[in-house]
Structures are given as C-alpha cells and as structure tokens.
Amino acid sequence: MYHMNKYRIIKRPLRTEKSVADGEKTNAYHFEVDLKANKIQIKEAIEKSFNVKVLDVRTQVKKGKTRRVRFELGRTKNWKKAVVRLKEGNTIDLGY
C-alpha cells in the first residue's frame, strides 16, 4: 500500500455555502485532498490531525476546467474532494 504523509493528504478545507451548511446540519466537512489518497488514508489523516472520530468519507474527483490563457487554451488540474462526516459531538473549528 502506498504510504503518504498525513500532513500532505489534506490540502485545504473547502469553504462554500454548501460546505458550511453541511457542517451545521449533518456534521460533515469538505476538504480538498491529494488525488492519490484513498478513503482509509483520508480518514486516518483527519482523525490524527483534528483529534476527532470519523464515521464515513465520501470522495469525488473533480475534473479540471478549460481556461483561456492569452491566445491559447489551457486546462486547470483535476482535484479530489472529500466529504468527511464526524461522530455526534465531534467538531472541527475551521474558522467559519
């Protein structure tokens, strides 16, 4: 199994209207994670980094978009989103 550093798996928390609403309603938090990380690695990284208990992890790979750079077409990178649901009573303070 490919071993990754737990601090490199989680890239950043995602702060959108949907992610804030999920945090309040269903105790779920959204993160951008490494493309190569699997659900087990994401779960362990969240539990160790934030000292919480994770119930489940849902992931999806978001496809990069085509963007115009001057006179040429470029493309943004693909990225992976993880929605992590925590056990009742656990929270992560992300500052929003």
Query: What 8-state DSSP symbol labels residue 52?
Result: -
HSE-CB of 38 using CA atoms within 13 angstroms: 4
Give Cα separations from 58 to 15, 29, 39, 82 (angstroms): 17, 10, 7, 6
Overall number of domains in the chain: 1
Q: Is residue 12 part of a domain?
A: yes
| CATH number of the structural domain spanning residue 82 | 3.30.70.330
In the three-class reduction of DSSP (H, G, I as helix; E, B as strand; rest coil), residue 73 is classed as strand
Average pLDDT estimate for 13-27: 93
**Contacts with 72 (C-beta within 8 Å, 6 or more apart), sequence order:** none
Q: Is residue 91 part of a domain?
A: no
Q: Is residue 93 part of a domain?
A: no
- Predicted TM-score (pTM) of this structure: 0.88
Q: Is residue 94 part of a domain?
A: no
- What is the span of the domain harbouring residue 26? 6-86
Q: Is residue 60 part of a domain?
A: yes
Tens-place pLDDT, residues 51-69: 999 999 999 999 999 999 8
Position 86 pLDDT exceeds 90: yes
Q: Is residue 92 part of a domain?
A: no
Q: Is residue 20 part of a domain?
A: yes
Contact (CB, 8 A) for 6 and 29: no
